[in-house]
Amino acid sequence: MANHSTSHPTHVQHHFVDSDQQFDSAKLGMWVFLVNEILFFGGLFCAYIVYRAWHPELFTQAATELNAFWGAVNTVVLIGSSLTVAMAIRSVQKNQIKGLKINLLITIALAVVFMVVKGFEYAHKFELGILPGELYTYEGIEHAQAAIFFSIYYMMTGIHALHVIIGIGLMWWIYVRANRGEFSSEYYTPVEITGLYWHLVDLIWIFLFPLLYLIE
């Protein structure tokens, strides 16, 4: 093994010929993974479409229970975090490790803001008795399937929130590695693919927001 890796830069794994091949592979792999994330959410969007087609009146009624203002705030927050993550990648490409770290911290902060707002929204609904499925006790909406709308709402936003939490973890991990000086303009694959992931999380929210909050 020893003689195998003499000519390799340390970040290139043994089975790749060179750094470019490793970078291209990682990026393609991430894109394939994102496709499968989209299909994962696609199943939920299908359930949404089917139920909206069956009960359009339910969706317009139930959407009024969702707070469009805070939803809009969260949308702005997430779009902002997408921008800072793009700036983080730009920084590392230019070998500005300090810029990378600052942008990562801003992104993490924005993601936390998103989760806090989401937490307040959930807490408010729990108080009203708007809980998923059988636990649903709210009486403000007169529709037999009202619970199903909120089941779909909780599934979609819940799984999205889980992705945000995973994203926060990933970015923290990137930040720690950046602190250790592992990244440079030569090697920043993990930053790039985490950025791709974060853009997807943002993109899904951009679909969720109008579909759930802004139904007229």
Partner 1 sequence: MATAEVSNTRTLKVKRFKPSEDPKKTYLTEEKGLWSWLTTVDHKKIGLMYLGSVTLFFLLGGVLALLLRTELLTPAKTFIEADTYNQFFTLHGAIMVFFVLVPSIPAALGNFILPMQLGAKDVAFPRLNLASFYIYVIGAIFTFFALVNNGLDTGWTFYTPYSIESNSSVIWVTLGAFILGFSSILTGTNFITTIHKMRAPGITWGKLPLNIWALYATSIIQVLATPVLAITLLLLTMERVFGIGIFDPAMGGDPVLFQHFFWFYSHPAVYIMIVPGFGIISEVITTFSKKHIFGYWAIALSSLAIAFIGFLVWGHHMFTSGQSAVATTVFSFLTFLVGIPTGIKILNWVATLYKGSIEMKTPMIYVFIFLFLFSIGGFTGIMLGSLAADIHLHDTYYVVAHFHYVMMGGTLIALLAGLHFWWPKMTGKMYNEFQAKIGAALIFIGFNMTFLPQFIMGSQGMPRRYYNYIDQFTIFHQTSTIGSYILGVGFLLIAYYLLVSLFRGEKAPANPWGSRGLEWQATSPPDLHNFDHTPVIINGPYDYHKPMEEFQLGLADSGHNGHDPSHDATGAKQEVVSN
What residues make contact with partner 1 under the rule CB under 8 A?
Answer: 3-8, 13-15, 17-18, 21, 24-26, 28-29, 32-33, 35-37, 39-44, 46-47, 50-51, 131-135, 144-145, 147-148, 151-152, 154-155, 159
* Six token digits for residue 109: 């902060």
Count CA atoms within 13 Å of residue 104 on its CB side: 27
Distance CA 69, CA 67 (A): 5
CB of 50 to partner 1, least distance (A): 6
Residue (14 or 180) nearer to partner 1, CB: 14
CB of 97 to partner 1, least distance (A): 26
Q: Which helix (H) or strand (E) holds 210?
A: helix 189-213
Residue (113 or 196) nearer to partner 1, CB: 196
Residue 7: Cβ-neighbour burial (10 angstroms; 0-12, 13-18, 19+)? exposed
Q: Are 88 and 191 in contact (CB under 8 A)?
A: yes
Among all chains, which residue has been given the structure tokens 């959930």? Answer: 122
Count CA atoms within 13 Å of residue 202 on its CB side: 21
Distance CA 127, CA 155 (A): 18
CB of 92 to partner 1, least distance (A): 22
CB of 3 to partner 1, least distance (A): 6
Picking from 146, 132, 157, the residue whose alpha carbon sits closest to that of residue 51 is 146
Residue (18 or 186) nearer to partner 1, CB: 18
Residue (27 or 90) nearer to partner 1, CB: 27
Residue (17 or 123) nearer to partner 1, CB: 17
Residue (6 or 98) nearer to partner 1, CB: 6
Q: Chain-centre distance of CA 191, in angstroms?
A: 15
CB of 121 to partner 1, least distance (A): 18
Picking from 151, 157, 139, the residue whose alpha carbon sits closest to that of residue 204 is 157
CB of 102 to partner 1, least distance (A): 30
